[in-house]
Amino acid sequence: MEIVKGFEEIDRLHCLPFIKHKWMNASPMDGEEKTEGLSLEAKLGLLDAVAINVGAIIGAGIFVVIGIAAGVAGSALPVSMLLASVIAFFTAISFIELSSWRPMEGSIYEYAYQLVSPFCGFLTGWMWIVSNIFAGAAVSIGLAEHLHNLLPALPTKVLATIICMFFSALNLLGVKQSSFVNNILVTAKLLILGFFTFYGALYIDPSNFADFNVFQPGVLYGAFIIFFAYGGFARAVVIAEEVKDARRNVPKAVLISLVVSTIFYLLVGSVAIGLIGAN
């Protein structure tokens, strides 16, 4: 009886209902009725999911943190990138397992709701929304500052607002339309990075790698910083319900996007160090 009362107290506080499910036959995981009749149409293929993930990973982050990470890791920056990719891979495994188990729209909220508690789902969902609002605003301001040189008549904040409104309207048109634009933007981004890597490799100065040291303490700190640039690897999981054959394609998209992003990060980081050095 004391054990039962203890679990009742846990349930009252919305703490760890998954434990209650295991030992008291509760059913917090059986949450399909919550979204019954609200399922979305799966319109995205594997390539679309990969592009969405790559676009989320290779964003503004890498262009911001690569210089900071190089300052602490030195010419061993590529090693920091490899370590960060390994950490991202092991983190991604949990999302792969969950998306294979139950692919859902808004999965970050759904998994916390069903496996931990409704309150944790609420907190997780709102933290994700708020963090992405701030991230989107920050990126919009950064882009607006660059566009301000071309359109000096418009204030930076006005340009940032227009950018946010444009992409919001694009998403409202539908996932297929926004995915099409995303595919174009991701392709352009990879082509630019590929051109930088190919052209820059012709001018690499080998002396910039003279102090290469895998075991210097800054390598781990650099990996910690670079991991920020892998923050979008779960984006395909969030939209899993809109991906065709999601149980197979979403895990593939996560893994493929991690491999593609890591290759580009290593190439760009190595060429950048080779051109201007870590300092």
Options 1.10.10.10, 3.40.50.300, 1.20.1740.10, 1.20.1090.10; CATH for 2-27+44-276 is: 1.20.1740.10
Output the six-digit token pair for 278: 């870590």
pLDDT mean across residues, the chain: 81
Question: Sign of dihedral through CA atoms 196, 197, 202, 207?
Answer: positive
* pLDDT tens digits, one per residue of 2-53: 444 443 443 444 444 443 443 333 344 444 444 444 567 788 889 999 999 9
HSE, CB side, 13 Å, CA atoms: give it for residue 117. 13
Domain boundaries, the chain: 2-27+44-276
Tens-place pLDDT, residues 190-205: 999 999 999 999 999 8
108-167 pLDDT, tens digit per residue, is 888 889 888 899 999 988 998 898 888 888 888 878 888 888 888 888 889 999 998 998
Predicted local confidence at residue 144, as pLDDT = 87
pTM for the complete prediction?
Answer: 0.77
- Whole-number Cα distances in Å, 229 to 54, 56, 75, 102: 11, 9, 19, 27
pLDDT of the residue at 38: 56
d(CA 78, CA 259): 14
